[in-house]
Each structure stands twice: as C-alpha cells, then as structure tokens.
Structure 1
Amino acid sequence: MQDEQEYDAYEDEAQERAPRRPAAKRILLVTAGGVFAALLAVGGYGAYNIVNAVSNGNSSPGAAGHQGSTGAAQTPQEPATAEQAEKVSAEFLAAWSRGDVAAAAGLTDSPETARAALATFHEQVAARTLTLTGTGPAPAAPAGRPAAPAATTSPSAPTAPAVGFRAKAEFDGATGAWEYDSALSVVRAQDGRAVVHWTPTVIHPRLGPGRTIAVKALPDPVSKPTDRNGKPLDGFPSLSAVLPLIAPADGTTAVTGRAVVVSGGAGKEPEQLFVLTPPSAPQVKLTLDADLQQVAEEAVKQQSAGGKPASLVAVQPSTGHILAMAYSPSGFNRAVAGGQPPGSTMKVITSAALLQAGVTPDTVVPCKETTYSPRAWHNDDSGDFPSYTLTDDFTHSCNTGFIDKGLEKLPPGTLTKVARDQFGLGLEWHIGIPSRDATIPVPGTKDEAAAEYIGQGQIQVNSLLMASVAATVQNGTFRQPVLREDAKRVTAPGTLPADVARDLRAMMARTATQGTARAPMSGLSGQIGAKTGTVEAGSQATNSWFIAYRGDLAVAAEVEGGGHGNSAAGVAAAQVLKAGGKG
C-alpha cells in the first residue's frame, strides 16, 4: 500500500495549501496497466489535479486553454524532446498492441476520448493480433493544431515531435495481414508530462472526425458469365438480355467477403482499406467465343440496317458448342427463340430423306419450270432443265425437282422422322437459356408436303436449329448445341448414315463453289459447304436464309426481307466463316 501512503501524503500537503473542502471520496481505479488510487475531492483542488493528471489537464473534451484554479492563464511550455517523444510513443504503442486500452489512453492528452475510440476500434475491427512498431521520427506537426477538440498547448507553441509507426493486424480466416503506416505527435500536458496528442488519425490516417473503422461484409458478388476463354461478355448488344438468364451451376453459391472499411463523415464515401476475405461468385464459362461474337454482332448490324430483323448463330460441329449468337432488333432473341420457314436450306434434310429412299446424287431429277401438287410451283429462275440430277437441283436450288421427287419417293411423315431422328429437330433442347424447338408437322395434303420439301408451309425453325443442321452434315453426327457445358443435352434416336453424310457434304461443297452460294463463299478455302434459302413472305417480300460450314465451324443466318439467300444472309454468314473457320 505504499502508493496509497504516498498519495495520502500528497493529499495532506494539498489540503494545507488549499481552502478547507468537504470530505473527499476515495475510489480505487483498476486498469489493464495496474492498480492506482485516486481521490476525487468534489470541487476540490486535489481532485482537479488528479483529473488533470489523467486527462492531460482537461476535465472534459474541449477544455483547450483551460485556466488553473487560481484563474491565471497557463504559460506555454517547451515542446517535448525527441527522447521523450520516443519513450512515450513506445509505451503508448506497447499498451495499444496488447489491448490495454486504458493504459494507452492514459498516455494521451485526451484519455476519455482516446479510450472510447480505441475500445471501439478493437471491438469493431476484432483483429486476432495487433502489432504496432515505431518507425522513427516523422514530419512534425504544429503543437497548437490538434485534430481533436482537446487542445493542451498554446497556438503559439512550437512544433510537436512526431513518431511514425507501422500497424500490422492479423485476422482469423483472412488471406493475409493488414498493414499500414501512421504517425502520432507528442506534446506536453499541463502538468508537464510528455503525452501523445490524441486525434482519430492516430488509429488510421483515413480516420477523420465522424468516421469509423470496422470489419464489414462486402456486397454479395454478382456472377458474370465469361466466354470459353474467360473473356468478359459485357457490352455485346445481343447478350445483354441473355447473360442475366445464366444461373450458377447447381450446388454452387456466392461467398460473401469481408473487409476493413472506413465510413461516415459528411460527404464522405465509404473506403475499403483491406480485404480480409474476397467475395467470390460461382463462375460460369459459356461456350461463346468473344472474338467471334464481335464479328457476328457486326455482321448482323450491317444486314439489319434499315430495320430488317436478322439473326445469326455459329456452332462448333465437333462439340455442339454455340460460339456466337447475334440478333436484331434487341428485346426478342429471334436467333434461338424465333420461328419461321427456312426456305431452301431445308433441302439438306429433304436430300437426306431422298438419298435414304434410293435416290443417288447422280439420279436424274428434272427441273421443270412449273410443277403441280396440285398447287402450281415455280423456281426463282425460269426454264426447263430435264437432265438435271439431284446434285444439280441442290446446287441450283430447283424447287420443282425436289417437289416432284419428294412426292414420288417420300411417304407422308418421312421428312418429320428424318429431321427428328438424324438431325435432332423436333426434340426438346436445353441449351442453357430458353429456346424454341423445331416444328416440322406431318403434312395432311400433297400441297402441304410439297411446301415442306422446299422449306415453306408450316415448318418453324430459327438460326440456331439450322446452324445445327449444317454442323450435323459437316461432322456426320448430331450434337445438340449448348450455350454452357453443364446443359442437359438430348441425343437423336438415330444416326445419319455415313454415306448420306458424305453425299450431302459433296453437294454442299459444289453449291459453295459452283452454285447459288458461290458469291458469298468466294475466297474461303478448306473444307467448305453451303446452302442458300429464299422464302416467299407475301407480296413481293422475300426472306434471306443461308447455312454453311468451314472446317469445324457451322453458321446459319437469316434476314427478314433481305432478298435472296446469297445476298444478305450469305454475306453475314461468310463474314463469320472468314473470321473463325479453318480449312
């Protein structure tokens, strides 16, 4: 109890020098730094001095320039020396490091304010360990310019010694330690002690008045699908409505991150100081190729100028991966959800049916100028070509030859069955986003059958479906197109006979080099094949269709009101084949 005895002696001396006061109350204060006794003489000189000793001469925050009990103004004191600054800052940092908030606060010129701030920091940041290490002298600040209201020095006081330090906080579950540099200044309290001048920036340089630091949860991340190479897909007009439909794979969830954040203060935005655990969203890589998507977007934009609706889809035959998907106008994805007759591009499936019905590529199938079913049917070009073979009819897109031979060789429903069993059209596809399946009904009359053989009538398809037709011919096997790898695919009930696939490739190759697709396919090398389509859309309007492949890339395009297939749709498809196809 030696401390109490010394303190009692101090009290007796004070009472002899001061007017008689009411009886004092003795209170034992316990801090993390030890135990000491403080006598609070209510309204007494002794109590004033004890409080001053703890609070740097301020009985409350804001007591700057406080006068002593005699009413005399305090005389400006000499600044703390560098040695004193080093000593008190080391004691302060040590107490703060070990979590002894009371002891650390008692070494400042505003103990109550400092204790509250440090306690809040420890509670809100909740670091597992906090290491504070002095780094030596720092640029000095004017001693009379405190950042907090508790000024203890005269405005005319010289500069206060400043000490820099490094803070290192470690957190459970964090990916690393939070480290930052800060500084504190040392001033003299009214009782002459060297103390740390308290300001919120002692805790962190970004912690100004009215601001707080705390560990907070970061907003849940938004999963943004990428292309097959991890490239972003934002910014593509045709994908703006598609990407929000992509959900993470089953069983995957977003991980909420945590970060040290400083917030508050008038006009101040929250600042993220350190990420403990980064947020993570389940990533989905789509099968799209961002580079090819850019080409497809531009091709469709060019052909849809003037308000013509258009679409294009590119598929990789070896995998069924959808590599590009573009359409215009925005809002409705006609590329995968639209439905319309495909015109003469349907002759690929009609030819497959005829080849399996005993017709060969060299079988003579006359191309009449007009034929009847009993409805009258014509070709785009006038004239009779009695010596045309099936290959000639295909190459020059003769309607009458396919109608005549189809009505002769194919029982009702054959086209529907071949399309379904060997090309997958009419099955329920799940590509990763909503899409429309093909509609190829069994015809009820010869007129309806004739229309279907040349891709008109009640048939409803889109660019996705017809790109798959071209891909099936190129590869010889139907692989349902998908936009994401985890999509549940369907398989066709049957397979396209190898000899039929071979003959179809030969016919499409000749069309690309010598037939109706020659102009748009000009200059493309390697394994190529194509088929044009022109659909009568009423009055004098015609819709342009084109399907083709080059190496391991198959494309289908359509332009409503675009004219013949070798013009608008053909030009768009060829642009994509040139950019992405290989010989």
Structure 2
Amino acid sequence: MREDREPDGYAGYAELDDHDVESEEEGAQAPRRSGGRRAVLVAAGGVFAALLAVGGYGAYTIVDAVSNGSGSPGGSGGQGSETAAKGPQEPPTAQQAEAAGKEFLAAWGRGDVTAASALTDRPETARAALTAFRENVPTRAFALTGTGPAASGTPAEPALGFRVKAEFEGATGAWEYDSALSVVRAQDGRAVVHWVPTVIHPQLGPGRTIAVKALPDPVSKPADRNGKPLEGFPSLSAVLPQIAPADGAAVVTGRAVTVSGGSGKEPEQLFVLTPPSAPQVKLTLDADLQQVAEEAVKQQSAGGKPASLVAVQPSTGDILAMAYSPSGFNRAVAGGQPPGSTMKVITSAALLEAGVTPDTVVPCKDTTYSPRPWRNDDPGDFPAYTLTDDFTHSCNTGFIDKGLEKLQPGTLATVAREQFGLGLEWHIGIPSRDATIPLPGTKDEAAAAYIGQGRVQVNSLLMASVAATVQSGTFRQPVLREDAKRVSAPGKLPADVARNLRAMMAKTATQGTARAPMSGLSGQIGAKTGTVEAGGKATNSWFIAYRGDLAVAAEVEGGGHGNSAAGVAAAQVLKAGGKG
C-alpha cells in the first residue's frame, strides 16, 4: 500500500477495512473484493499565515501568463504535467482540501514558485503566472492567511478562502484583499489546487495584466485664497494654465497596483501605493468675488463691448478678482487704454505736492486752450470752483490750466512712478503690462495727460492699484500669487496728500459724478469717474473706487460716461465684497 505523505502542521492516520477472505465455490474462483480505504487528516493547528520578505520596488508592464487558466484538473505536479485526468476521481474531502490549500499557500508565501505551482493541476501555467506576479508586483513583505472554507466551493471542488497582505517600500499602507482557491483530485490521486488566474486576485482574468505602474502626472490646479477651485470662470480659463508651481516644487508621480487588458475591460486601480500630487498654488483671488466680477463684466459687455474689471485689497495688494471680455486677450492686466479723468487722482497728487490745496480756487472754464481747445462734458463757466470742486465734477479745463501752470514736463510720470508704482516692472504671477506715461513733447500732449487722454496707457489692474494706494496711503504692488516678486515704489505718498485725496474721492462718491453708482454704499468710500473720447461720438467708460479694504477699477469700451457702464460694474463688486 502506498504511504500518503502528510503535510507539515497536520497529523494523519489511515483506517483499513478488513479484507474479505478469498473462497472457492464449486471449483470456481470467487471475484476478489478489496476493502475501501479512507484517509482522515486532522488539523493540528489553527489559521495558517506565511510572510515573505521580497526586495525591490518598481513598476513593470510585462504581460502575466494567466491565459488558459480554466483547464480541468490534471496530471502530477511533480512531473510538471498538465494532462487531464483519464477517469473519474473521487473529490477531495474537506480535510484533504484544507491540507492541499495550506501547503500551496505556504509555498507561495515563502516565495517558492516552483513548489507552489507543482501543487496545482496546471503547474506550468501556474508557475508562469506566479512568477509574473512576483516580478510585476514587487513587495517588501508578503503574507497569506487562510480564512476557512469559501462559499464558492462545491462538493466536487471544495474551496478555501485566504487573505493577502502586501507591503511596499514607500507606501503609506498595506494592500489587503481576499481571494479563494479550489481543490480537485489530480490524475495521480493527489489533492491539488485547481489553477485559475483569480487565485492571484479575483479580478485577474485570462488575458489581463496585474502590475505596479506609474500613474499619470497630475496637473496643478490653482485654488483661490480659501482653497476653493477656480475652474469654470471664463476670465480664468486662459490664466490658470499660466500659473506654474513655485520654484523647487516638484510634481510627485504616483504609483498603483493596476489590472488591465482583457476584452471590454477598462484598466482599474486596485491599490494606490503613493498618490500623485502636484504642488498646489493658492492664488490671491476670492472665488466668490470673482463670480460677481464675471457677472458684472458680462452684463456691461453685452452687445460686444470690450470690458474689464480688477479688484485689489489695499492692505495687502492681493488681486481678489479679475474679469474681462471678450475671451482670448486679458485686457484687464495686459491691455492699454487712456484712463480718462480717473487719471486726475494722480494729477491731483502732483498739484497738491506742488502747493495747491483742496480749497485753492481753480476756475472751471467752459473752454481753455493749450493751444488746442479743451471743453468739459457739462458746458458753462464756474469761476469759483476749487480744486476739490474740479475733482468732484470732473472739470477738464481747471486741471489743464493748473497743470500747465504748476507742473513741469515729466512731473506727472514721476509722481505716478514714485508714489503710485506705475511704470515699474511688476511681476504679478502672469504676464501683465506696465503703465505708459510718456514725457510730453508739447503743451497739448501735457494737457491731454493731465486728464488721462492722449498717449497715456493703463489698464484696470493699474488703476485699481491707484485707488488702493489712495485708500491705504501706501503703494503695495498687486499680485496674483503670494510668492510673486513684489517691487516697491521709490517714494511714498505724503500722508497729507493721501488724506486730501481720500476726502476728494469721498465727496465725488457722495455728491459728485460718482454718486449714482455709489448710492447706498456705506462706510469708507471714495470714487472717481472717467470718460474717454474715442473718436466720433463713441466714449469709453472708466471708474475707480474703494469701499473699506476693497478697491476696484472697471472700464467698458464704448460704454459711455464713467458713471454708467463702468460705474455700475464696479459698484456691483463693491456691494458684494466691500465692508464699511
């Protein structure tokens, strides 16, 4: 009688039935009847667990040998045969199945692929698949733990469940999952594991590959100052791709165990070893205020009128909102247009420094000459107007006369640069345009510059900064990201000049040309309108204002007077974000 080899960790015994004695009846030999033999295996221990330390960590993409994994139980594992059994076989008992499964898991767990595959009904296929799995999914530690009979088993093919735990270098956690194997009777009578690809993983079917692979590099998605997403804003669609991670910040390539291949099967992540990450850049924008700015510009640009708006926080220089239309060119920060009478804020600063006071009489003539004629929006002579009155009612002739009298050529550009930071090279985080305030070659050019026309070129970003500088009394270069390199103005706006400018802008907001759009706004407010002659009957609308720690500039090409289109847009943002 052949002696059955008992697996380690189990004790076994065999009971033999008594053999019937041969007899002869009437000289004929009776057929010989051999007694059945049954082997009973008794478990000597509890749950099996094996741990294998395997060096290495990386990604492979070779195809595993898991095809043809559904063949019938076959020949001897010891000889590497994959021949199907030739005759009926008694199914393994539950105890035999448990012992066979235990021995297979022990061999696989300690990394002995040859021994493990020999304990299956398809040793060559199993060896190729187990080898590919070991190479494609290199682990630091690998443990297999039996979990008892599996529900998928049948009386003819008992099944055992087991749990896999794999640990990887650099991973934050272990990969754990449940699988199962079934046991059949081989041709030589042994109880062996029926090999199918799902023994390795339940989702590893024929033709599928399981491997550690690099995940696609993530795309950095800048967020607003509070971490809110900024996708979906029309004005930011071309801006966000220009935002690069900070110097030295690197994209982290993630790694995951994936299963892919097979007809109609999409690649699937089974376990993420290291999640991919891109250095997040927080912009200074406020998503809620950006939404308001987008809507304000959309309303005022209806009919195809180009428009833009920028909101700045005076205390920090942070750009809180930036909207423009049409898309394709960011006129809010890269455009260049004459600002009209909003330039009178800088002209007033120059005049105040030149000795003119807010109460100095500066007559507002119906017409003045430089030698070219200049007029105001509202006809009439107002000889008793002061500088404050001229500012409040936006009198062109008064500013031209007093500017030509008190200011030297180039003074306007000097004050703009040294106290308001205009004309310096700003680095806000994306490409932007600096102000252009050229040295006037004639009195006509100087007169035009004093009222923000002619060759003066600015944009909403620059003029929002002008309003912010008046509100806080200090120039702080606007930035779109906190790590942007800021420049400082060479000088500082004198305290008394800043105080007088705030008083003049406050009166304009409550009693002057800006009173309609600023109506209903409380707290510290100030504003200045601007209307630019654009040839013919067309006029461009400009408006700058502040409310508390929020400064806004808006412009609408062809929008009419400053207190209409641009003023309405700016006031919407001030109402939403400004505090008294």
Shorter-chain TM-score bucket reads: 0.7 to 0.9
Q: Shift in Å at residue 348 of structure 1?
A: 0.3
Is 2:462 aligned against 1:465?
yes
Is 2:306 aligned against 1:284?
no
SS at match of 1:121: helix
Distance 1:134 1:187 in 2: 18
Q: Which has the higher helix share?
A: 1
Q: Deviations over 1:128-175 (max 9, x none)?
A: 111111122222256xxxxxxxxxxxxxxx552222111100011111
Q: Shift in Å at residue 303 of structure 1?
A: 0.8
Aligned to 1:500: 497
Distance 2:551 2:458 in 1: 16
Q: Deviations over 1:17-75 (max 9, x none)?
A: xxxxxxxxxxxxxxxxxxxxxxxxxxxxxxxxxx922179x944xx55x53xxxxxx12
Is 2:290 aligned against 1:293?
yes
Identity %: 85
Distance 2:441 2:76 in 1: 105
Q: Does the CA contact (< 8 Å) of 2:81 and 2:123 recur in 1? A: no
SS at match of 1:327: strand
Which one of the candidate residues 358, 361, 366 is aligned to 1:361?
358
Is 2:326 aligned against 1:314?
no
Is 2:143 aligned against 1:131?
yes
Aligned to 2:521: 524
Is 2:113 aligned against 1:116?
no
Q: Which amino acid aligns with 2:394?
A: S
Which one of the candidate residues 323, 327, 351 is aligned to 1:326?
323
SS at match of 2:151: strand
Is 2:211 aligned against 1:214?
yes
Aligned to 1:391: 388
SS at match of 2:282: coil
Distance 2:556 2:146 in 1: 72
Q: Which amino acid aligns with 1:535?
A: V
Q: Does the CA contact (< 8 Å) of 2:81 and 2:122 recur in 1? A: no
Q: Does the CA contact (< 8 Å) of 1:55 and 1:110 recur in 2? A: no
Q: Does the CA contact (< 8 Å) of 1:55 and 1:109 recur in 2? A: no
Is 2:548 aligned against 1:551?
yes
Q: Which amino acid aligns with 1:478?
A: F
Distance 2:76 2:442 in 1: 108
Is 2:440 aligned against 1:417?
no
Q: Deviations over 1:467-498 (max 9, x none)?
A: 00000000100111111122111111111000
Aligned to 2:176: 179
Aligned to 1:237: 234
Distance 2:264 2:188 in 1: 39
Q: Shift in Å at residue 235 of structure 1?
A: 1.2
Aligned to 2:94: 82
Q: Which amino acid aligns with 2:158?
A: P
Q: Does the CA contact (< 8 Å) of 1:354 and 1:410 recur in 2? A: yes
Q: Does the CA contact (< 8 Å) of 2:75 and 2:121 recur in 1? A: no
SS at match of 1:139: coil
Distance 1:571 1:280 in 2: 42
Is 2:343 aligned against 1:346?
yes
Q: Deviations over 1:518-540 (max 9, x none)?
A: 11111111111111111000111
Q: Shift in Å at residue 193 of structure 1?
A: 2.1
Aligned to 1:27: none
Aligned to 1:23: none
SS at match of 2:76: helix
SS at match of 1:164: strand
Q: Shift in Å at residue 304 of structure 1?
A: 0.8
Aligned to 1:145: none
Q: Deviations over 1:396-416 (max 9, x none)?
A: 111111111111111111111
Aligned to 2:471: 474
Aligned to 1:446: 443
Distance 1:177 1:434 in 2: 46
Distance 2:104 2:162 in 1: 11
Q: Does the CA contact (< 8 Å) of 1:55 and 1:112 recur in 2? A: no
Aligned to 1:53: 76
Q: Which amino acid aligns with 2:544?
A: I
Moved more, 554-563 or 282-291: 282-291
Q: Shift in Å at residue 190 of structure 1?
A: 2.4
- Normalising by the residue count of structure 2, what TM-score does the alignment of the two structures yield? 0.85
SS at match of 1:216: strand
Distance 1:462 1:233 in 2: 23
Correspondences of 1:132-211 after superposition (within 5 Å): 132-141=144-153, 159-211=156-208
Distance 2:386 2:523 in 1: 26
Q: Shift in Å at residue 432 of structure 1?
A: 1.0
Q: What runs of 5+ residues in structure 1 fail to find an aligned partner?
A: 4-50, 68-73, 143-157
Distance 1:159 1:140 in 2: 11
Distance 1:428 1:171 in 2: 50
Aligned to 1:539: 536
Distance 2:259 2:517 in 1: 61
Q: Shift in Å at residue 83 of structure 1?
A: 2.1
Q: Which amino acid aligns with 1:244?
A: P
Q: Which amino acid aligns with 1:132?
A: L
Distance 1:461 1:510 in 2: 25
Moved more, 499-508 or 84-93: 84-93
Distance 1:405 1:159 in 2: 107
The alignment yields a C-alpha RMSD, in angstroms, of 1.6
Distance 1:87 1:310 in 2: 80
Aligned to 2:29: none
Distance 1:572 1:86 in 2: 78
SS at match of 2:209: strand
Q: Does the CA contact (< 8 Å) of 1:140 and 1:159 recur in 2? A: no
Aligned to 2:119: 107
Q: Does the CA contact (< 8 Å) of 1:55 and 1:108 recur in 2? A: no
Distance 1:574 1:475 in 2: 19
Distance 1:52 1:368 in 2: 113
Which one of the candidate residues 367, 370, 374 is aligned to 1:370?
367
Distance 1:79 1:398 in 2: 106
SS at match of 1:263: strand
Is 2:300 aligned against 1:303?
yes
Aligned to 1:484: 481
Pairs aligned (count) = 508
Is 2:250 aligned against 1:253?
yes
SS at match of 1:281: coil
Q: Shift in Å at residue 268 of structure 1?
A: 2.1
- Normalising by the residue count of structure 1, what TM-score does the alignment of the two structures yield? 0.85
Distance 1:563 1:176 in 2: 64
Is 2:453 aligned against 1:435?
no
Q: Does the CA contact (< 8 Å) of 1:140 and 1:160 recur in 2? A: no
Distance 2:381 2:149 in 1: 101
Distance 1:183 1:382 in 2: 94
